[in-house]
Amino acid sequence: MGKIAKGAKTVRVNDRIRVAQVRLVDEDGGMVGITGTREALEIAREKGFDLVEVSPNAKPPVCRIMDYGKYKYEQSKKAKRAKKKQHIMHIKEVKMRPKIEPHDYDFKMNHARRFLEQSNKVKFSLLFRGREVTHPDIGLRILKRAAEELSDIANVESAPKRERMSMIMILCPRQVIKKDADKSETHEPEQVTEGGDGKD
């Protein structure tokens, strides 16, 4: 009951509390009970604090005695810390070719694994040239292999699909999927291109 109501656009403090009675909570979180608003305000001022409406929809509204200036400052610091900790998810692009050499494939896969371990999505773009486009099965085989090799840390978010002269697949890190399910973290997708120039 001591917290400011979530979703409240404005918080009424001191003389802005216009109701006749409030349910008063003291500065230590103890329940005082229902009292007149003027009396509650006098009690708060005598203690050198503010009277803050923390639950406006209750009947009567719940008000707490607190240092509102200090409370706002602490909430601002918490919000800044939370923003710093928030991870912004990027989409990293890894380009491949149907005739990719083994060492180049390993190089690209190492990059993809590192991106996933950093909690970023990975977009595999397999680029066809000329008559290569008539053999999509080769590209599909490469992308399926990549998904299988990274299955310990990633799930397939978007299965391989043709887009003109390329084939696209998107992998999402497993820990991010879990966090999304728990609703414990918010991500903001941002397109970032990484990888080679697509040459063999």
Tens digit of pLDDT per residue, the chain (200 long)? 444 444 445 789 999 999 999 999 999 999 999 999 999 999 999 999 999 999 999 999 999 999 999 888 888 888 888 777 776 778 999 999 999 999 999 999 999 999 999 999 999 999 999 888 888 999 999 999 999 999 999 999 999 999 889 999 999 998 754 444 444 443 443 433 334 444 44
pTM of the predicted model over 0.75? no
Query: SS3 of 84, please?
Result: helix
Q: Scanning the structure block, which residue is given the tokens 């490469």?
A: 142
Instruction: Give kind and range of the element (H or E) at residue 7.
Output: none
Kind of pairing, strands 166-173 and 21-25?
Answer: unpaired
| Structural domains for the chain | 14-83 (3.10.20.80), 90-193 (3.30.110.10)
Between CA 1 and CA 3 the distance in angstroms is 6
E-state strands within the chain = 21-25, 31-36, 50-55, 62-66, 90-96, 121-127, 154-163, 166-173, 190-193
How would you label 46-65 residue by residue, b for 16+ Cβ within 10 Å and e otherwise? eeebbbbbbbbeeeebbbbb
